Structure 1
Amino acid sequence: MAAMNKKTLFSDQDAELQKTFELGLAFVFEVEGIESDDPDDKGGLTRFGIAQNYNPDVDVARLTRDHAELRYLTNYFYPASCEDLPRPIAIAVFDASVNHGSITAVKLLQSALRVKADGLIGPVTIAAIESRNQQQLLIDFLSHRALRYHEIAAETPSQTKFIRGWMRRLFKLQHYLNNLSKGVRQ
């Protein structure tokens, strides 16, 4: 695949959406790194954050950054309805979608909002987002993610070794989003 032309992915009217995706993608690429293959990682071989065991249709060993970017947009950003969310929430949900899957990411957001957690962004979820203080919602959402990570470790003890990294990811995300809201260049 040739280098991806972002103009084909986003129309001119979608400049803000493209910016949101690019900001989220920059964070995901930063925290995911380039390649890993930890025997305890249930994802198996992982390149640019795309795990072989969760993406069996992808040859992860030969995955390019451009392919990973397209995969993130089509399999994680859009399925979590990030295009319908305010930028900071969209970036946080996108990152959660990468780590937990899009349905679980949305359910975690809905739990933080105290609305029915059905995994679908609809009018009730949107209204709840709009009625909340965005900073507090981010804190609540990240807290729900932290709890989910601890549940994963409790369910599968071999995953306990990843808790520190998962918590670091959440702190980095909060810092990243705080800086974005203040206009600090990343």
Structure 2
Amino acid sequence: AAIDCYFKMFWEPARAEQLPSEIREVYFDMVVNHGQGNAVKILQQAVNNKRKPANYIDVDGGIGPNTIKASNGLKEWELMVERSGFYWNLVFKGSKYKDRTNQVKFIRGWIRRCFKLDV
């Protein structure tokens, strides 16, 4: 069934079971919707947002033991905030507020998805 497919195609390869239970659902949704590499980069950046630069982990899109260990203590809302930053980066070119891509039409739905998964 579909659940088995998602488990084999997304959950297992993304190593979601090894992450803290609080962030698994959001992480899994990101894996399905953004691809595993982007989901892991969002996770890694969310981890780094809580650290001093000397303790940053690599934002390389690889879900290895360092990322899994570093994600301990990460709150769901912290991951959601970083995910919203991912969406805004899809819309804005560089740092110019008025210079938007054609993706702007999706931003409201994307941001709602960040904070409410049943959208």
Q: TM-score range, shorter-chain basis?
A: 0.7 to 0.9
Aligned to 2:112: 168
Aligned to 2:51: none
After superposition, the C-alpha distances for 1:63-93 in whole angstroms (9 at most, x for unaligned) are: xxx33x3332222222221021122211111
Question: Could you say which structure has the greater relative contact order, defined with CA pairs below 8 angstroms and 6 or more residues apart?
Answer: 2
Q: Choose the corresponding residue for 1:111, options 29, 45, 49.
A: 45
Separation (CA, whole Å) in 1 of partners of 2:36 and 2:61:
8
CA-based RMSD: 2.0
Q: Choose the corresponding residue for 1:121, options 60, 63, 75.
A: 63
Structure 2 gaps of 5+ residues are 49-56, 94-99
Structure whose CA Rg is larger: 1
Alignment of 1:33-72 (within 5 A): 66-67=1-2, 69-72=3-6
Separation (CA, whole Å) in 1 of partners of 2:26 and 2:67:
15
- Give the letter for the 1:100 counterpart: H
Runs of 4+ in 1 over 4 A off after TM superposition: none
TM-score normalised over the length of structure 2: 0.74
Matched, 1:89 2:23: yes
Separation (CA, whole Å) in 1 of partners of 2:36 and 2:13:
6
